[in-house]
Amino acid sequence: MENKTVAVVGGGLGALSGAIRLARLGFAVQLFEKNPTLGGKVNEVVLTDYRFDTGASLLTMPSVIDELFDFAGFKRSNYLDFVRIDPICRYFFPDGAVMDTSADKKKMKTAIAQLSANDVKAYEAFLKYAERIHDLTAEIFMSTPIHEFGKLMRHRYLRTLFRLHQIDPFRTVHQSVSRFFSDPRLVQLFDRYATYNGSDPFQAPATLNIIPYIEYGLGGYYIKGGIYRLVDALTAVAYALGVQIHTSAKVETIRHDGKRVNGVQVNGDKIDADYVLCGADAVVAYHELLEGLQHQREKLNQLEPSLSGMVFLWGVKAKHPALAHHNIIFSGDYSTEFKQIFRDRQVPDEPTIYIAITSKADAAHAPTDGENWFVLLNMPYLVPGQRWEKETIRMRRVVLDRLKQLGFDIADQIEVEHIYTPEDFSELYASNQGSIYGVSSNSKTTAFRRLPNRSRLLDGLYFAGGSVHPGGGIPLVILSGKMAATLIAENGF
């Protein structure tokens, strides 16, 4: 019997994860990526002697990657070297205080004690609280396609479903963090984790407090050579398993007869397939790749997109030992920053500044007398009336002025520069309204409203990536590919 065929749309981590599993399971897999390189938002740029990752800069839950390699029949350590980061991040607060965070509990408690002695016990209690959310939700939300009713009804999940109140879904992230910590600087620090999936800590459910446990309880890592080495490794595994990979191959249409998909159209050519695994943003796919289905488009338009971002890639011809591998320079008014982003949908007056410098870990990423700065600012998703050319100039000035106040006067040290705005995220990665993380989690029901891995409208259509369950970020996107591939296999054999 001839192998069933799968057309994979997109070359991001979710698509690669799904393609690898499907090929290992015996499917004939073709993958189509519209850009010249794979990886989606996880990509890299080289500007003269400076090398940059353009997407994720911190790896958590490395066991997810190990499991994918094991499933595929390969040894991850032959491809990738994971390096534990310590400190995980250096925080610069508006009052001038500086704090290094760590997954080493002793170091972390010492750092908290230096900032706010009264909050050391609060941190211990908060971490236990976050661990409980993790223990209750990890398997059911991170490893199970929750829209598949039959899977949710398995006996071991029923206990969790009846204890959902214990995952703190009715308070916001900010409300729950504020219950633990008395120091507003620590509240701001732990509020920040809502942004890991593109959400507003003042609206998103406190269930997202699982995220700091994953970072501090399980650890944060860097991939030697840069995060993009993960894409290289997965590409090599996919090729070894027989996946046919086509780059600069834009999928124009996912073909269907109104009931079932039957393939894709790529650069004018019709490609037949028994199944389609779409790694592109699901909202965009329903709008641009799937004809008909107007009712579904209208429903999807009601979902709020996540944060977008503005990125400055700066090759800085100087060394700055006061900065760590990862750095956060907080805004003076976090609440106003997020109100401007999500309520007013405007560029914030004073953004929080994130700086990743991989040359701290990989000297080859910059000249011996320089550093490669990846600078990310939270931004609103695209709406009419925004003036990104003007706002880019303003934000560049705001960031450089703030850095100068902290003693990092780099304006004359920048040798090379590349900038991304939400318009670039939309154009390059076909993300919904320029969002980075798919759908926001700014409601109590978002975990259940995030799009499913299996289409309810068209048989044979499945989804992976940050816009669908279980969400954005390297490990979750890879797990989305696992869920989609598993569902296809259950249907296909």
Answer whether residue 206 shows pLDDT above 70. yes
Residue 122 — φ and ψ, nearest 5°? -65, -40
Domain with CATH 1.10.405 in the chain: 119-215
User: In this predicted structure, what is the pLDDT of residue 451?
Assistant: 86
The span from the CA of 47 to the CA of 51, in Å, is 6
Give me the mean pLDDT over the 48-68 stretch.
96
User: 377: which residues sit within 8 A by CB, 6+ positions away?
Assistant: 309, 310, 311, 348, 351, 352, 353, 354, 395, 399
Answer whether residue 109 shows pLDDT above 50. yes
Closest CA to 439 of 301, 287, 304: 304
Domain with CATH 3.50.50.60 in the chain: 5-38+227-303+443-492
pLDDT per position as a tens digit, 247-289? 999 999 999 999 999 999 999 999 999 999 999 999 999 999 9
Give me the mean pLDDT over the 180-186 stretch.
98
Q: Please name the fold of domain 5-38+227-303+443-492.
A: FAD/NAD(P)-binding domain (3.50.50)
Range name among 16-25, 157-166, 206-215, 233-242 with the lowest pLDDT average: 157-166
User: In this predicted structure, what is the pLDDT of residue 215?
Assistant: 97
Q: Cα–Cα distances in Å, from 463 out to 207, 280, 430? A: 24, 8, 15
Residue 192 confidence class, pLDDT cut points 50, 70, 90:
very high
Identify whether the C-beta of residue 146 lies closer than 8 Å to the C-beta of residue 152: yes
pLDDT per position as a tens digit, 234-249? 999 999 999 999 999 9
Higher pLDDT, 159 or 105: 105
Residue 145 confidence class, pLDDT cut points 50, 70, 90:
low
- Tokens 């900065």 belong to 323
pLDDT per position as a tens digit, 152-180? 555 455 555 556 667 888 899 999 999 99
Higher pLDDT, 95 or 442: 95
pLDDT per position as a tens digit, 456-489? 999 999 999 999 988 889 999 999 999 999 999 9
Q: Which amino acid is at 1?
A: M
- Tokens 């592109």 belong to 280
3-state secondary structure of 8: strand
Give me the mean pLDDT over the 192-196 stretch.
96
Which two tokens mark 355? 């700086």
Answer whether residue 70 shows pLDDT above 70. yes
Residue 146 confidence class, pLDDT cut points 50, 70, 90:
low
User: In this predicted structure, what is the pLDDT of residue 137?
Assistant: 81
Residue 450 confidence class, pLDDT cut points 50, 70, 90:
confident
Rg (CA), the chain: 22
User: In this predicted structure, what is the pLDDT of residue 165?
Assistant: 65
Answer whether residue 148 shows pLDDT above 70. no
Give me the mean pLDDT over the 414-437 stretch.
96
In degrees, rounded to 5, the angle at the alpha carbon of residue 346 between the alpha carbons of residues 343 and 348 is 100
Answer whether residue 151 shows pLDDT above 60. no
Answer whether residue 397 shows pLDDT above 60. yes
User: In this predicted structure, what is the pLDDT of residue 168?
Assistant: 87
User: In this predicted structure, what is the pLDDT of residue 443?
Assistant: 84
DSSP state of 244: E
Q: Please name the fold of domain 119-215.
A: Guanine Nucleotide Dissociation Inhibitor; domain 1 (1.10.405)
